[in-house]
Amino acid sequence: MKFQVRLMTVSRLLFSVTSVVCLLLLSACGSAEEPAASKIAPPPAQVAGPVADSHPRVETALVEVGSGAHELTLVGKVAYGEDRYSRISSPLQGRVLEVRVHLGERVKAGSVLLVLDSQEIALAYSDYVKEDSELQYATRAYDLAKDLYENKALPLKDLKQAENELTKARAEFRRAKARLLSLSVPVEELEKPLDRQKITSRFEMKSPLAGIVVERNVTPGQSIGGDSGQVVFTVADLDMLQVVADVYERDLALVRTRQSANVNVEAYPGVNFPATVSSIGDVVDPTSRTIKLRAWVNNTDHRLKPEMFARLHIQVGEATPLLLILREAVLEVDGKQFVYVVEGPDRYVKQSVKVSTISSDYVRVLEGLKPGQRIVTKNAVLIKGQEVKG
């Protein structure tokens, strides 16, 4: 009997303990199912919530005017220097007798490029001889008429007629002589007495400047004409070239002549070719809204080639203060750029901006911000992501 009482007592005790454990487990399960309270309230329109607390990596800074040296990068191409190249055409028709230079050959100013046999010189010289004879005849006729008039043996109208004929003859002679000179007939030859002049149909085409023959479109025996569009040779001075680049009108105030610059081309990665801004155009392209800018670059080693694509890095910022911000601060959605302006503790307002690249790390603010405003400069994408979720 005593054993049964003890067994019942132990059973009741185990039941009590089991009940308490179950109650504790049910209580724990119920508390786990309750939703946790959000620590970040959904942001209103155009304003992000307290990102600084949940994203300590967000950094801000004041928008300030900077005056240090910066680079303005322009896209352009390498070109022949102005007045340092010549596209040479033949001024008259004829057959090529000799070609005295080869492609890539260096020539001096006045060097003979080719020899041409042209009947135009023979015809021009024939006309010159004729006009010389007419001039001599008109001169003698006038002198005779003058003597007769002074002796009252000739009326005044006949003297005037002889004077008019002399004036016409002089004009025709000058025209014929000028034609020969335009065909490169030496002036010294024309100053000799007529019977001692040695003028043939051979014409020597000469280089107008010193440089390298970079284009040749003629062979011996070829007939060429007096067409100005038919380029026979191109001679260029490759020791000095120019980079022609496009500068947007919004950046026009940043550039000026004699500014220092560097040129980079894809053929030589990491190599800087020193350059100097030489001229800035006066006309804006209505389509691209850009102005042509030229910069001289030394090319004595001939590594740069005309028509190469190039980037021109101009040192700017010393004379003109710039409103600069970090490139990372600018975000873009649907082609529109914006930054986040700090309005207060944990409050950020989206602000549309217009910027222009000034270096690899910084952009120049054109519209949308003023000095003294505080903006998010690092990890602004976290705020953008917060807005999307909100």
Structural domain includes residue 2: no
Same domain, 271 and 138: no
Determine the pLDDT at residue 129.
92
Same domain, 232 and 266: no
Domain range enclosing 56: 47-67+322-389
Structural domain includes residue 20: no
* DSSP annotation of 254: G
* DSSP annotation of 325: E
Same domain, 346 and 360: yes
Same domain, 164 and 103: no
Structural domain includes residue 137: yes
With beta carbons less than 8 A apart as the criterion, state whether 145 and 159 touch: yes
Give the closest residue to 314 by CA, choosing from 250, 252, 241: 252
Four-residue CA torsion sign, 352, 357, 358, 361: positive
Tokens 């492609």 belong to which residue? 103
148: domain CATH number is 1.10.287
Q: For residue 7, what are its two tokens?
A: 């067994």
Structural domain includes residue 222: yes
**Cα(253)–Cα(251) distance, rounded to whole angstroms?**
6
Q: For residue 295, what are its two tokens?
A: 């910069």
Same domain, 231 and 95: yes
Structural domain includes residue 259: yes
With beta carbons less than 8 A apart as the criterion, state whether 273 and 310 touch: no
Q: What is the DSSP string of 296-340?
A: EEE-TT--S-TT-EEEEEEEESSSS-EEEEEGGG-EEETTEEEEE
Determine the pLDDT at residue 388.
54
Tokens 């724990």 belong to which residue? 28
331-333 and 322-326 strand pairing: unpaired
Structural domain includes residue 162: yes
Determine the pLDDT at residue 226.
67
Number of neighbours of residue 359 by Cβ within 10 angstroms: 16
**Cα(339)–Cα(317) distance, rounded to whole angstroms?**
23
Same domain, 96 and 217: yes
Determine the pLDDT at residue 44.
35
**Cα(152)–Cα(143) distance, rounded to whole angstroms?**
14
Supply the Cα-derived Rg of the chain in whole angstroms. 45
Same domain, 132 and 169: yes
Amino acid symbol at 138? A
Determine the pLDDT at residue 29.
43
385: domain CATH number is 2.40.420.20
Determine the pLDDT at residue 53.
42
Among the residues of 151-232, which ranges form H helices? 156-182, 187-190
Overall number of domains in the chain: 4
Same domain, 108 and 220: yes
Structural domain includes residue 148: yes
pLDDT, block means (10 residues), the chain with 390 residues: 40 46 43 34 38 60 74 91 91 91 94 92 90 93 92 90 94 92 83 84 90 94 81 95 92 87 94 95 91 95 95 77 83 86 84 81 84 85 66
Structural domain includes residue 62: yes
**Cα(109)–Cα(131) distance, rounded to whole angstroms?**
33
Amino acid symbol at 103? L
Last residue within a domain, chosen from 253, 287, 316: 316
Determine the pLDDT at residue 11.
45
Residue 261: beta bridge partners?
275, 314
* DSSP annotation of 252: G
Same domain, 256 and 306: yes
With beta carbons less than 8 A apart as the criterion, state whether 382 and 390 touch: no
